[in-house]
Amino acid sequence: MTERTMWRIPMLPREEWTDEAREVMAFWGEPNAWEEGSKTNIQNVVANHPKFGMAFSVWGKHFLTSNTLPMRQYELIILRIGWKLQSQYEWHNHVGYALQYGITLKEIEACKTGAGDPIWDDKPLDRLTLAAVDELMTTNDLSDDTWNALAQHFDKRQMMDFVFVIGHYVMLGWGLNAMRMPLEAHTDPIGWDLKTASDKTPGVTFKPGEVDDWADKRGYS
């Protein structure tokens, strides 16, 4: 944990749990979430603002579970953003997802360097993906050369998802940082050195619905 880990907006207190708030906390289908709240901090925080929380959840679910990008490119995008924004919450969760989709720990480490790392020398699409993330975040645009290079690999729906995945996770990282949202208490946080706080090597984790106990395995235990 860092000095930024303090609740500016805490999880919604139980005495304020309306049906609308419970719908937000139960959005991802966790067992008993309606009665007990979510096991994920973010759902319990956005439940403070149920209309926002539900809209945010529906929007985010598209990117997490039904976007059209190859999952390798999707996870590389988020790892690069997580590092650039120093969003521990994004980094911790997406390291495990990336491992599930065949991205190695060495490649995850190289996401910190970005497109210039030599590990991408024989992976031109990976290099292009990381370069496009940096370009959009730095210039607020993609050049014709970058757009046309991406369009050789992706159709129009994938191009739309590519741009908005970047926007969504930058927005999410801003929100997590500004609200000082910590990782869940039951996690074994992954550091930027790709070791957990207890000095374990991170392992594969699963997204909502991929396995029944996905929410219990977010700590890489």
Measuring CA to CA, which residue among 51, 47, 45, 39 is closest to residue 7?
A: 45
Q: What is the pLDDT of residues 45-68, one digit of tens each?
A: 999 999 999 999 999 999 999 999
What's the rounded Cα separation, in Å, for the pair 187 and 10?
Answer: 18
Residue pLDDT, tens place only, 193-213: 999 999 999 989 888 878 777
Count of positions (residues) in the chain: 221
Are 30 and 39 in contact by the 8 Å Cβ rule? The answer is yes
pLDDT score for 160:
98
| Integer Cα distance of 202 and 215 in angstroms | 16
CB 86 within 8 A of CB 190: no
Given a cut of 80, whether residue 161 has pLDDT beyond it is yes
Q: Name the one residue in this structure whose structure tokens are 């966790």.
A: 30
Overall pTM > 0.75:
yes
Distance between CA atoms of residues 221 and 218, nearest Å: 8
* CATH numbers and ranges of domains, the chain: 14-64 (no CATH), 68-179 (1.20.1290.10)
Region 150-171: mean pLDDT is 98
pLDDT tens per residue, range 108-141: 999 999 999 999 999 999 999 999 999 999 999 9
The single-letter code of the amino acid at 214 is: W
pLDDT recorded at residue 205: 87
What is the band of 6 on the pLDDT scale with cuts at 50, 70, 90?
confident
Q: What pLDDT score was predicted for residue 210?
A: 80
